[in-house]
Chain A
Protein backbone atom coordinates (compact mmCIF):
# COMPACT_ATOMS: atom_id res chain seq x y z
CA UNK A 1 0.00 0.00 0.00
CA UNK A 2 1.59 3.24 -1.16
CA UNK A 3 1.25 5.96 1.44
CA UNK A 4 1.89 9.68 1.43
CA UNK A 5 1.88 11.34 4.82
CA UNK A 6 1.40 15.01 5.60
CA UNK A 7 0.74 16.92 8.78
CA UNK A 8 -2.89 18.02 8.43
CA UNK A 9 -2.25 21.27 10.27
CA UNK A 10 -3.52 23.87 10.39
CA UNK A 11 -0.18 25.57 10.01
CA UNK A 12 -0.37 29.25 10.85
CA UNK A 13 2.37 31.69 9.88
CA UNK A 14 2.48 35.49 9.96
CA UNK A 15 2.51 37.40 6.71
CA UNK A 16 6.04 37.71 5.34
CA UNK A 17 7.34 34.62 7.13
CA UNK A 18 8.54 31.35 5.59
CA UNK A 19 6.01 28.52 5.55
CA UNK A 20 7.49 25.01 5.59
CA UNK A 21 5.33 22.09 4.48
CA UNK A 22 6.53 18.51 4.78
CA UNK A 23 5.65 15.19 3.21
CA UNK A 24 6.94 11.63 3.53
CA UNK A 25 6.20 8.71 1.25
CA UNK A 26 6.46 4.96 1.61
CA UNK A 27 7.19 3.72 -1.93
CA UNK A 28 10.97 3.73 -2.44
CA UNK A 29 10.70 3.55 -6.23
CA UNK A 30 8.76 6.82 -6.44
CA UNK A 31 10.27 9.12 -9.04
CA UNK A 32 7.96 12.10 -9.50
CA UNK A 33 6.80 14.47 -6.79
CA UNK A 34 4.27 17.26 -6.96
CA UNK A 35 2.84 19.97 -4.78
CA UNK A 36 -0.72 21.09 -5.50
CA UNK A 37 -2.50 24.02 -3.91
CA UNK A 38 -6.21 23.70 -3.29
CA UNK A 39 -8.36 26.62 -2.22
CA UNK A 40 -11.51 25.75 -0.33
CA UNK A 41 -14.14 24.45 -2.73
CA UNK A 42 -11.79 24.56 -5.70
CA UNK A 43 -9.81 21.98 -7.66
CA UNK A 44 -6.11 21.21 -7.05
CA UNK A 45 -3.70 23.47 -8.92
CA UNK A 46 -0.12 22.40 -9.61
CA UNK A 47 2.48 24.75 -8.16
CA UNK A 48 5.68 22.67 -8.18
CA UNK A 49 7.04 19.43 -9.59
CA UNK A 50 10.39 17.88 -8.69
CA UNK A 51 12.08 14.75 -9.99
CA UNK A 52 15.69 14.88 -8.73
CA UNK A 53 17.28 15.15 -5.31
CA UNK A 54 17.99 18.68 -4.15
CA UNK A 55 16.19 21.98 -4.38
CA UNK A 56 14.06 23.47 -7.11
CA UNK A 57 13.08 27.10 -6.91
CA UNK A 58 10.24 28.92 -8.67
CA UNK A 59 9.59 32.44 -7.48
CA UNK A 60 8.67 32.35 -3.80
CA UNK A 61 8.36 28.56 -3.83
CA UNK A 62 11.16 26.03 -3.26
CA UNK A 63 10.63 22.30 -3.41
CA UNK A 64 13.18 20.05 -1.71
CA UNK A 65 13.55 16.34 -2.37
CA UNK A 66 15.55 13.74 -0.46
CA UNK A 67 14.92 10.30 -1.93
CA UNK A 68 17.15 8.53 0.59
CA UNK A 69 14.98 9.83 3.41
CA UNK A 70 11.77 9.54 1.32
CA UNK A 71 11.00 13.12 2.13
CA UNK A 72 9.81 16.08 0.10
CA UNK A 73 9.09 19.58 1.33
CA UNK A 74 7.76 22.89 0.09
CA UNK A 75 8.99 26.25 1.34
CA UNK A 76 6.98 29.39 0.71
CA UNK A 77 8.97 32.57 1.25
CA UNK A 78 7.40 35.94 2.07
CA UNK A 79 4.06 34.23 2.75
CA UNK A 80 0.97 36.17 1.73
CA UNK A 81 -2.63 35.86 2.92
CA UNK A 82 -3.46 34.68 -0.61
CA UNK A 83 -1.25 31.62 0.04
CA UNK A 84 -3.80 30.42 2.60
CA UNK A 85 -5.00 27.10 1.20
CA UNK A 86 -4.56 23.37 1.57
CA UNK A 87 -1.33 22.06 0.08
CA UNK A 88 -1.42 18.53 -1.29
CA UNK A 89 1.68 16.43 -1.75
CA UNK A 90 1.41 13.88 -4.57
CA UNK A 91 3.77 11.10 -5.56
CA UNK A 92 4.05 9.00 -8.68
CA UNK A 93 5.99 5.72 -8.85
CA UNK A 94 8.38 4.58 -11.59
CA UNK A 95 8.88 6.12 -15.01
CA UNK A 96 6.04 4.10 -16.50
CA UNK A 97 3.60 5.05 -13.78
CA UNK A 98 0.68 7.38 -14.25
CA UNK A 99 -1.17 7.06 -10.95
CA UNK A 100 -0.76 9.86 -8.42
CA UNK A 101 -1.00 9.05 -4.73
CA UNK A 102 -2.00 12.08 -2.69
CA UNK A 103 -1.53 12.94 0.94
CA UNK A 104 -4.44 14.34 2.92
CA UNK A 105 -3.03 17.83 2.62
CA UNK A 106 -1.78 20.49 5.03
CA UNK A 107 -3.97 23.50 5.65
CA UNK A 108 -1.94 26.71 5.69
CA UNK A 109 -3.19 29.97 7.15
CA UNK A 110 -1.17 33.13 6.61
CA UNK A 111 -2.13 35.71 9.20
CA UNK A 112 -2.02 39.37 8.07
Chain B
Protein backbone atom coordinates (compact mmCIF):
# COMPACT_ATOMS: atom_id res chain seq x y z
CA UNK B 1 0.00 0.00 0.00
CA UNK B 2 0.89 3.65 -0.13
CA UNK B 3 1.51 3.90 3.59
CA UNK B 4 1.59 1.85 6.77
CA UNK B 5 -1.94 0.83 7.67
CA UNK B 6 -2.98 -0.04 11.21
CA UNK B 7 -6.25 -1.43 12.49
CA UNK B 8 -8.18 -0.82 14.60
CA UNK B 9 -7.54 2.89 15.04
CA UNK B 10 -9.18 2.75 18.44
CA UNK B 11 -9.78 -0.17 20.76
CA UNK B 12 -11.47 -0.05 24.14
CA UNK B 13 -11.36 -3.22 26.18
CA UNK B 14 -11.82 -4.39 29.70
CA UNK B 15 -9.05 -5.43 32.02
CA UNK B 16 -8.16 -9.07 31.52
CA UNK B 17 -9.30 -9.30 27.91
CA UNK B 18 -7.24 -10.34 24.87
CA UNK B 19 -6.43 -7.83 22.14
CA UNK B 20 -4.97 -8.06 18.64
CA UNK B 21 -3.59 -5.07 16.74
CA UNK B 22 -2.82 -5.37 13.05
CA UNK B 23 -0.20 -3.67 10.89
CA UNK B 24 0.07 -3.71 7.10
CA UNK B 25 3.46 -2.23 6.12
CA UNK B 26 4.46 -0.43 2.96
CA UNK B 27 4.69 -2.91 0.10
CA UNK B 28 8.24 -4.18 -0.35
CA UNK B 29 9.46 -3.11 3.08
CA UNK B 30 11.23 -6.03 4.71
CA UNK B 31 11.71 -4.42 8.12
CA UNK B 32 8.76 -3.90 10.45
CA UNK B 33 8.74 -2.39 13.93
CA UNK B 34 6.29 -1.99 16.78
CA UNK B 35 6.57 0.94 19.17
CA UNK B 36 4.38 2.02 22.06
CA UNK B 37 3.74 5.67 22.92
CA UNK B 38 2.24 6.71 26.23
CA UNK B 39 0.85 10.18 26.80
CA UNK B 40 3.57 12.81 26.94
CA UNK B 41 6.31 10.35 26.06
CA UNK B 42 8.27 9.49 22.95
CA UNK B 43 7.70 6.16 21.21
CA UNK B 44 9.27 3.20 22.98
CA UNK B 45 10.64 0.25 21.00
CA UNK B 46 8.85 -3.08 21.40
CA UNK B 47 9.90 -5.48 18.63
CA UNK B 48 11.57 -5.59 15.22
CA UNK B 49 10.97 -8.04 12.39
CA UNK B 50 13.26 -8.71 9.45
CA UNK B 51 11.14 -10.74 7.09
CA UNK B 52 9.14 -13.32 9.00
CA UNK B 53 11.39 -13.57 12.03
CA UNK B 54 11.46 -11.44 15.14
CA UNK B 55 15.06 -10.22 15.04
CA UNK B 56 14.74 -8.38 18.35
CA UNK B 57 11.89 -8.62 20.83
CA UNK B 58 13.84 -7.12 23.72
CA UNK B 59 11.39 -4.25 24.10
CA UNK B 60 8.35 -6.38 24.83
CA UNK B 61 7.48 -5.56 28.47
CA UNK B 62 6.50 -9.08 29.55
CA UNK B 63 5.21 -12.41 28.30
CA UNK B 64 1.67 -11.09 27.88
CA UNK B 65 2.90 -9.38 24.72
CA UNK B 66 3.59 -11.32 21.54
CA UNK B 67 3.87 -10.42 17.87
CA UNK B 68 3.91 -12.41 14.65
CA UNK B 69 4.58 -11.76 10.99
CA UNK B 70 3.94 -15.17 9.40
CA UNK B 71 4.32 -14.26 5.72
CA UNK B 72 6.77 -11.41 6.03
CA UNK B 73 4.23 -8.70 5.40
CA UNK B 74 1.28 -8.12 7.77
CA UNK B 75 2.09 -8.25 11.47
CA UNK B 76 -0.16 -8.74 14.47
CA UNK B 77 0.64 -7.57 18.00
CA UNK B 78 -1.15 -9.69 20.57
CA UNK B 79 -1.73 -8.69 24.18
CA UNK B 80 -3.09 -11.21 26.66
CA UNK B 81 -4.79 -10.44 29.98
CA UNK B 82 -4.70 -6.71 29.33
CA UNK B 83 -3.97 -4.35 32.21
CA UNK B 84 -4.80 -0.66 32.60
CA UNK B 85 -1.10 0.13 32.24
CA UNK B 86 -1.19 -1.26 28.70
CA UNK B 87 -3.26 1.76 27.63
CA UNK B 88 -1.23 3.63 25.00
CA UNK B 89 -0.94 4.25 21.28
CA UNK B 90 0.69 1.30 19.55
CA UNK B 91 2.63 2.46 16.51
CA UNK B 92 3.79 0.27 13.68
CA UNK B 93 6.54 1.36 11.31
CA UNK B 94 8.29 -0.15 8.33
CA UNK B 95 11.45 0.51 6.35
CA UNK B 96 12.89 -0.82 3.13
CA UNK B 97 15.92 -2.22 4.90
CA UNK B 98 17.46 -1.93 8.34
CA UNK B 99 20.83 -1.43 9.93
CA UNK B 100 22.52 0.95 7.51
CA UNK B 101 22.92 4.70 7.39
CA UNK B 102 20.83 5.37 4.34
CA UNK B 103 17.43 6.58 3.27
CA UNK B 104 16.33 2.98 2.84
CA UNK B 105 16.63 2.62 6.59
CA UNK B 106 14.25 5.43 7.44
CA UNK B 107 11.12 4.44 9.34
CA UNK B 108 7.65 5.38 8.14
CA UNK B 109 5.03 5.19 10.86
CA UNK B 110 1.40 4.24 10.66
CA UNK B 111 -1.36 6.28 12.28
CA UNK B 112 -1.33 4.01 15.33
CA UNK B 113 -3.85 1.99 17.29
CA UNK B 114 -5.04 3.67 20.46
CA UNK B 115 -5.69 1.05 23.12
CA UNK B 116 -7.71 1.91 26.21
CA UNK B 117 -8.01 -0.70 28.94
CA UNK B 118 -10.80 0.06 31.40
Contacts and interface: CB of A to CB of B under 8 A. Distances in A.
A32 interface: yes
A88, A90, A102, A103: which has the most chain B beta carbons within 10 Å? A102
A32 B98 CA distance: 12
Interface residues of B, number: 28
A43 B109 contact: yes
B79 interface: no
Interface in B81-104: 91, 98-101, 103
Interface stretch (A12-20, A61-69, A91-99): A91-99
Contacts of A32: 101, 105
Interface string B14-32: 0000000000000000010
Contacts of B50: 98
Contacts of A45: 109
B62 interface: no
A34 B101 CA distance: 11
A103 B42 contact: yes
B42, B55, B112: which has the most chain A beta carbons within 10 Å? B42
Contacts of A103: 42
B106 A44 contact: no
B42 A104 contact: yes
Nearest to B55: A98
B101 A44 contact: no
A95 B45 contact: no
Given A44-B91, A46-B106, 5 more contacts: A4-B42, A95-B101, A99-B59, A102-B43, A104-B40
A80 interface: no
